[in-house]
């Protein structure tokens, strides 16, 4: 079963895991704006976040990120440097670990495609980093976006095409 395309009525094998899952996320920056997606499914259903997903067996982190961005947003991206690595551990009401992801977030930029929400997102937008409060992002996403925008301000960006 592909973890990136699960939906309603499909058993989520990531829930109540026996081990952490590795996932990737993208801070896609275009003309000073950052790409956000509204999640369609758990975890984080109905919430705005950075695009990304779970790494499949045999897939590199960068390949996963490129695949996930096409699936979720219709955009082809260039993958830049790592912005942050962290754990996202979610507990249920009884205190049990419902989800555990080790996430690697990268700075990315669009190379092609057309922005269009895919199967596991309800919406996708480029947002002004100054207006992130309107999207009720969790504090970690805001922090990662801030770190990525700092890299952009320091001159990091897409490689020049010849």
Mean pLDDT of 27-36: 97
Model confidence band, residue 161 (pLDDT cutoffs 50, 70, 90): low
In this predicted structure, the answer to whether residue 2 has a pLDDT above a threshold of 80 is: no
Mean confidence (pLDDT) of the chain: 89
Mean pLDDT of 60-69: 97
Model confidence band, residue 57 (pLDDT cutoffs 50, 70, 90): very high
Cβ(140)–Cβ(86) below 8 Å: yes
Model confidence band, residue 98 (pLDDT cutoffs 50, 70, 90): very high
Domains of the chain: 33-99+112-129 (3.90.79.10)
pLDDT of residue 159: 61
Model confidence band, residue 10 (pLDDT cutoffs 50, 70, 90): very low
- DSSP per-residue string spanning 44-104: STT-EE--EEEPPTT--HHHHHHHHHHHHHSEEEEEEEEEEEEEEEEE-TTS-EEEEEEEE
pLDDT of residue 41: 84
Model confidence band, residue 7 (pLDDT cutoffs 50, 70, 90): very low
State the pTM of this model.
Answer: 0.87
């Amino acid at each position: 079963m592909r973890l990136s395309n699960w939906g309603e009525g499909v058993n989520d094998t990531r829930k109540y895991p026996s081990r952490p899952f590795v996932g990737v996320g993208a801070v896609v920056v275009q003309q000073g704006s950052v790409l956000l997606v509204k999640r369609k499914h758990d975890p984080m259903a109905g919430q705005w976040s950075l695009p990304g997903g779970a790494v499949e067996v045999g897939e590199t982190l960068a390949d996963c990120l490129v695949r996930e961005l096409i699936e979720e947003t219709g955009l082809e991206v260039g993958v830049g440097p790592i912005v942050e690595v962290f754990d996202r551990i979610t507990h249920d009401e009884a205190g049990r670990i419902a989800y555990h992801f080790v996430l690697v977030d990268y700075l990315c930029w669009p190379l092609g495609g057309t922005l269009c929400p895919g199967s596991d997102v309800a919406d996708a937008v480029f947002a002004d980093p100054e207006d992130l409060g309107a999207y009720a992002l969790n504090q970690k996403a805001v922090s990662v976006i801030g770190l990525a925008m700092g890299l952009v301000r320091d001159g990091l960006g897409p490689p020049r095409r010849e």
